[in-house]
Amino acid sequence: FLIIGIFAHAPAFISNVFANEEHIQKVRVPTEQLVSALNEHLEVRRKGNDLYQAKRFAEALQQYRRALSVVELVVGLSGEDQKEVDTNRIAVQLNIAAVHIARQDFGQAVEACDKALALKPDNVKALLRRAKALPCSAPSSPQPPWTSSSTTWRSPAWRPVRRAWAR
């Protein structure tokens, strides 16, 4: 196991995150240190956003994965702190999904959306991106997925996606 202690500075924190490690112990951090880590996460994610807008998708994906490693490592001590961590985790998963859609890696886009939806099942952006990627990840389904007999798509949570798709 990679054990990372409580960190004093966010820059030192991210340098201790190893993306290739399979076992990373999550670190419970007080609010002040969590703010530093989330600020660093946002800085890295902004770099990814700039690269994405420049259509440098592979580099953007690297930055998003780096940002994800931060929010996957920390745990807030309070419910509000953890909610902030989860909000940032959802946002970076959606960034990753957008890159995969742009690269036409639709299966991976669906996986990223599923991870965001595991944290917030009614996230409209995650539902919409998943709906865009899902038909493309299954070549035998040329129509929008909610036209199938599956009751999952009839769930009220999917209503905003069906409306957005129709636009």
* Pairing mode of beta strands 27-29, 74-76: parallel
d(CA 41, CA 120): 20
Q: Which residues are CB-contacts of 141 (< 8 A; sequence separation ≥ 6)?
A: 134, 135, 148
Q: How far is CA 24 from CA 4, 35, 154, in A?
A: 8, 20, 38
- Residue 63: partners with Cβ closer than 8 Å, 6 or more residues away: 44, 45, 47, 48, 51
Nearest to 164 by CA among 143, 144, 149: 144
pLDDT at 74: 92
Cut 0.75: pTM above it: no
Handedness of CA 134, 56, 92, 17 (dihedral sign): positive
- Residue 22: the pLDDT is 52
Q: Give the per-residue pLDDT at 76.
A: 92
How do the pLDDT tens digits run along the chain, 167 residues long? 222 333 334 444 444 444 444 556 788 989 999 999 999 999 999 999 999 999 999 999 999 999 999 999 999 999 999 999 999 999 999 999 999 999 999 999 999 999 999 999 999 999 999 998 887 655 544 455 555 555 555 666 666 666 666 65
pLDDT score recorded for residue 52: 98
What integer pLDDT is reported at residue 125 of this predicted model?
Answer: 95
